Amino acid sequence: MSDKTRTPSPAALDLNAPPIVKTIGQRSLIIGVLASVFALLLAFKNPNEFFRGYLISYIDWLGIALGSMAIVMVRHMTGGGWGTVIRRILGASMRTLPLLILLFIPYAIFAAPRLYPWAMPLDQVSNPAIREHLEKHQFIVQQYLTKNGFYLRAVIYFAIWFLLQYLLSKFSFEHNQPPFADKSARFKMVSAPGIIIYAFTITFAIIDWVMSFDPSWISTIYGLIFVAGQLITALAFAIVIERILFKYEPMKTLLKPNYVHDHGNFMLAFIMVWAYFSFSQWLIIWSGNLPDEITWYYRRLHGGWEYVGLFLALFHFFVPFFILLFRPIKKNIAKLVWVAVWMLIAHYVDLIWHVEPAFSQTFTITLADLVLPFAMGGIWIWYFCRNLSSVPLVPVYDATAQDVLEPAHD
């Protein structure tokens, strides 16, 4: 099709998601409900372990949603068929935010007083270094690390994220119906500041939800490590879904090797960014040789946790990095998907390494850490599949989508 202004004919190819999407959603819901029942039993048995596992799983699935939103904004700023072909997959992920908001409420209400030392009476704080820090910095505790502040900031974070995904989704849905138009300027107006706002808000959210387990420790790079991790998991999840859909139309026709290659390159870039931020934080803190800053790493490099750190260095960076240097793997979706699945697993291990050592000096993985990803994830994937089935897989009346749709209308 040489005339870029000609309205494409959706009848040439059915762009709706195949029935397998609804089937996956139904099966995921069953798994999620059954795992949730088991998880609730764990909650009554050991609430503290339950909520630690709850937070790890929550940050993991929230990361896929927010990382998807960030990649969508990057695509709107840069263009390209690589983003168009997975745009609706990423959009379905980011539109799970209402569910994630609901899932955060029980954690905020019941977990904060149990897990965060700043929310406890000082005589209940078991770590003497943290207790001494809280006593010495009463002003910060009274002005920032408060329950009301924790709740208020969470409301602000979610309000901003919801607004961003709402605007991006609204503009995208307008391309499901005629007229045929290029409205990329509106996407860029949201995406340009949105990328910056996303990075700032998730950084402060991670400070509140994870870093404040140890108020005596600070790192200005910490939030960026989570940003990189979210980009990895969001893209990895999109690759897994596009691999499933590649067996069926329309993805079988739309997904070209060069798009798969671009996805592999982006995953390689995100893995390198994660490694850069992680190593930079470690190098700066260790070279500074400051006792208050080294304590965070000391807990994670002793008691068995050092083997988890070694695992992450090897299998969250070195191994996938060298695998993704090979072009044939990046151009073949059947091979690339295995790297994507592995990165989803490795990132979850990374989250465990960030959270669990704050509560256990020796290597400990609880049953809640293993059950809650299935409980929360089953329900989340059901909601994702519901979103994905509700719209065509490509915004057919978007002028910028023609680089993907052209082959279907030759």
* Average pLDDT of span 27-37: 98
pLDDT on residue 79: 87
**Rounded to whole angstroms, how far apart are CA atoms 166 and 383?**
16
Q: What angle do CA 41, 47, 51 make, to 5 degrees?
A: 100
Residue 264 token pair: 């592999």
Cis peptide before 179 (omega within 30 of 0): yes
Average pLDDT, the chain: 91
Q: Tell me the residue ranges of DSSP E strands in 122-231.
A: none
pLDDT tens digit sequence for 172-207: 998 888 877 677 889 999 999 999 999 999 999 999
DSSP string, 63-131: HHHHHHHHHHHHHHHH--HHHHTTHHHHHHHHTTHHHHHHHHHHIIIIIHHHH-GGGS-GGG---HHHH
Q: Mapping DSSP to helix (H, G, I), strand (E, B) and coil, where does residue 398 land?
A: strand
The DSSP bridge partners found for residue 181 are: 398
Q: Residue holding tokens 């691999």?
A: 243
Q: How confident is the model at residue 396 (pLDDT cuts 50, 70, 90)?
A: confident
Q: Please say if the pLDDT value at position 86 is more than 90.
A: yes
Among the listed residues 378, 331, 340, the one whose alpha carbon sits nearest the alpha carbon of residue 24: 378
Half-sphere exposure of 87 (CA within 13 A, CB side): 30
Within 10 angstroms of residue 112's Cβ, the number of other Cβ atoms is: 20
Arithmetic mean of pLDDT, 60-72: 98
- Residue 91 confidence (pLDDT) above 50: yes
Which residues make Cβ contacts (< 8 Å) with residue 260, sequence separation at least 6? 330, 331, 332, 333, 336
The whole-number pLDDT of residue 161 equals 98
**Does the pLDDT value for residue 5 go beyond 60?**
no
Question: What pLDDT shows up at residue 132?
Answer: 80
Residues 286-337: pLDDT tens digits?
887 777 778 889 889 999 999 999 999 999 999 999 999 999 999 999 999 9
Would you say residue 8 has pLDDT above 60? no
Domain boundaries, the chain: 13-402
Hey, what's the torsion of the CAs at 188, 190, 191, 193, to 10 degrees? 110
Q: Are 333 and 255 contacting, i.e. CB atoms less than 8 angstroms apart?
A: yes
- Please give the pLDDT value at position 126: 80
C-alpha torsion sign, points 187, 193, 199, 203: negative
Give the CA angle between residues 82, 85, 87 to the nearest 5°: 95
Percent of the chain with pLDDT over 70: 95
Contact 255, 87 (CB under 8 A): no
**pLDDT band at 379, cuts 50/70/90?**
very high
Q: Name the residue among 52, 165, 198, 32 with its Cα closest to residue 98.
A: 165
